[in-house]
Structures are given as C-alpha cells and as structure tokens.
Structure 1
C-alpha cells in the first residue's frame, strides 16, 4: 500500500513537470475559460447560468482525451513496459497511478474554474453542490476510462493524436456547451449523445435529477472499463 501511494505521489510530481499535461490539463482549458468566458457572457448574458458547467466539461475533456493517452503510450508502447516486467511490477500499477494523478489534476483545474468564474464573470454557482461535484467526479472517471482505451489501443503517437481529436472535437462541438444541442440536426444531436460530455453537461446543469439520468454515463463507464481491462490483459501477453 505504501509503495502504491508513493507511486501515485511520484506520478503526480512527474505530471506537474510534464509540459504536455501542464498544457492540456491547465494552460489550454484555463486560457479557453478566460477568453471564451468573457465572450460568452458579453454576447449571451444568460450564459452566466451555465458558464461553470460548460467550461468544466471542456477542460475535463481536453485533459482526459488529449493529455492523458500520450502518457499511457509512453508506458505501454515503449521499453518502460519491459522495466515493469523485469522488476516484477504489475503493469496495472503504471496505469492506476497515472489515472489517479490525472484525476487529481483535473479536479484541481475544475476547482479553479468553479471558484474563479463567479468572481471574474459573475457566473451562477450551481444550487445543488453535492449533485454537481458528484456528477463532476463521475464525469472525470468516465473520461479517464475512455482515455485508457485510447492510450492502450493505439501504440503510435502520431495516430493517437488523430484518434484523440476524433473523440475530443465531437465531445465539445456536439455537447451543447458552445451552443444549444437542440439547434443541431437530429443526426448530429444523437451522435453527440455517444460521448460523455453531452450527458455530463446535462447533469451538471440540472438542479435535480433521477438515477435514470445517470445511466448513459454509467453505461459508457462500464463499456470503457471492460475494454481497458481487455487491452491491459493483451498488453501483458505481448
């Protein structure tokens, strides 16, 4: 247990020094928040009601889908994996420590947006905070599970960039955070519901919800979790 906690702490420190993760988990999301927050609230004053939710969805999606998969490839697509084998370290250790570290970073970034938006743009704070943070935690976990699938499935960094963008861009453009999703053609609106960002934005923006509203996110989580397990098992056999 102590070794596991030490690994998480070490990975957290390495991530802080990683330019890639620093850019995707902090710099780009917070810069987008600073610029687009002002634009949204100036052009559409009603955007203040959901500014925290929309900027958080964008930041988590960026950090998880663009920032995390390359770090996974660095472990499982290089000789680092052989070092794990040589020292008798389970391959799941590297993935677990990386995901927990990324979870903490994304939660910190989301917290910065949550506390800064009301001060900078007079954004409305969600009325049900336990529901908001519960959905946020679930959304981050689901997004990181999808990141695991991307990082374990694609071994080439060049190809990984393409696949990450294929997941990230529709997540943002079709989720409703840029403009109402009901303005989209039915096909694109339904396509957007395949991504966790759409459901997370709906749940984060609601004042109250039922368990059935969580089912799509839970289904995506279960699917991504099973795929990650199968891909990790395949990586052990290679």
Structure 2
C-alpha cells in the first residue's frame, strides 16, 4: 500500500512538471474561465447562476479528453510498460496512478473556479455543496474513464489528437454550457446526450443530483473499466 501511495504521489509530481498536463488541466481552462466568464455574465446576466457548472464541465472535459490520453500513450505505447513487467509491477499501475493524479489536478482546478467565480463575476455558488462535490467526483471519474480508453486504445499520437478533439468539441458545444441545449435542432440535442458532459452539467446543477443524471455516468465509467481491463490484459499477454 505504501508503494502504491508513493507511486501516486510521484506521478502527481511528474504531472506538475508535464507541460501538456499543465496546459490542459490548468492554463487553458483557467484562461477560458477568466475570458468567457466575463463575456457570458455580460451578455447573459442570468448565466451567473450556472457559470461555475459551465466552466467546470469545460475544464474537466479538456483535462480528461485532451490532457490524460497523451500521458497514457507515452507509457503504454512505448517500452515503459516493459519496465513494469521486469520489476513485477502490475501493468495497470501506470493507468491507476495517472488516473488518480489527473483526478486531483482537475479537482484543484474546479475548486479554484468555484472560489474565483463569485468574486470576479458575482456567480452564484451551488446551493447544495454537500451533494455538489460527490456529483463533481462522479463526473470527473466518468470523464477520465473515457480519456483512459482513448489513451489505451489509440496507438498513434496524431490519431489520438484528432479523436480526442472529436470527443471534446461536441461535448462542449452540445452539452448546454455555452447556450441552452433546447436551442439546438432535435437531432443535435439528442446527440449531445451521448457525451458525459451533458449529463455531468445537469448533475452539477442545483437539485440535479438524481438517478436520472447519475445512471448514465456510472454506466460510462463501468464500461470504461471493462474496456481498459481487456486492453491491459492483452498487453500483459504480449
């Protein structure tokens, strides 16, 4: 257990030094928040009640879909995994430590947004904070599950970048965080529900913590665990 915790702490420190993760988990989400937060609340003052949730969904989506997968492909797409085998380390250790490290980084970014939004843009804090943080943890977990699948199944960095963007952009545009999803054509609104961002956004809203918004995220995470398990088992057999 001590060695596992040491591995998580070490990975967290390595991620801090990673320019890729620094950009996708901190710099870009916070710059987007600082720029768009003022624009959203100026153009649509009523958005102050959902600004925190919107910015959090964007930040989590970027960190999970664009930030985590490249780190995984660097490990499992190279000879680093052979080091795990040579030292008797479970092949899943890299995934688990990167997953937990990314979770902590994204949670920090979300807390920063929650602290700054009321001060800078007079945004309203969630009224149900005891339920908000479990909802946030579930949403981050399910999003990182998809990011883990992308990082383990896509072997080429160029293809990974393209596919990650194809997951990230619809997640943002069709989730309802930029504008009400009801303004979209019916087929686009339906398509948006496929992505966790839409369910996560509704889950994070006041009084949104309910089974209707939870079940899909839980299914996504369980499916991601199964897929990752199958991929890692095949890699272990090689």
Q: TM-score range by the shorter chain?
A: over 0.9
Match of 1:91, SS state, is coil
The answer to whether the 8 A contact 1:126-1:207 is kept is: no
CA RMSD of aligned residues (A): 0.9
Q: TM-score, normalised by structure 1?
A: 0.98
State yes or no: 1:115 paired with 2:124: no
The answer to whether the 8 A contact 2:142-2:220 is kept is: yes
The 2-side partners of 1:22 and 1:30 are apart by 11
- Show CA shifts across 1:14-66 (max 9, x none): 00000000000000000000000000000000010000000000000000100
Q: CA deviation at 1:150?
A: 0.2
Q: What is the match of residue 55 of structure 2? A: 55
- Show CA shifts across 1:162-192 (max 9, x none): 1111110110000000011111111111111
The 2-side partners of 1:209 and 1:129 are apart by 11
- Show CA shifts across 1:181-232 (max 9, x none): 1111111111111111000101111325432331111121222221111111
Moved more, 197-206 or 23-32: 197-206
Moved more, 227-236 or 150-159: 227-236
4+ residue segments displaced more than 3 Å:
none
State yes or no: 1:223 paired with 2:209: no
Structure-to-structure mapping, 1:176-187, within 5 angstroms: 176-187=176-187
The answer to whether the 8 A contact 2:135-2:209 is kept is: no
- Show CA shifts across 1:116-159 (max 9, x none): 10000000001001121111000000011111100000111111
Q: TM-score, normalised by structure 2?
A: 0.98
The answer to whether the 8 A contact 2:202-2:208 is kept is: no
The answer to whether the 8 A contact 2:148-2:228 is kept is: yes
Q: Residues 7 and 188 (structure 1 numbering): CA distance in 2 closer, same or farther, change over 3 Å?
A: same
Moved more, 13-22 or 126-135: 126-135
The answer to whether the 8 A contact 2:118-2:124 is kept is: yes
The answer to whether the 8 A contact 2:200-2:213 is kept is: no
Aligned residues: 238
Q: What is the match of residue 67 of structure 1? A: 67
Q: What is the match of residue 174 of structure 1? A: 174
The 1-side partners of 2:209 and 2:56 are apart by 19
The 2-side partners of 1:83 and 1:216 are apart by 36
Unaligned runs of 5+ in 2: none
Q: What is the match of residue 204 of structure 2? A: 204
The 2-side partners of 1:151 and 1:210 are apart by 30
The 1-side partners of 2:25 and 2:16 are apart by 10
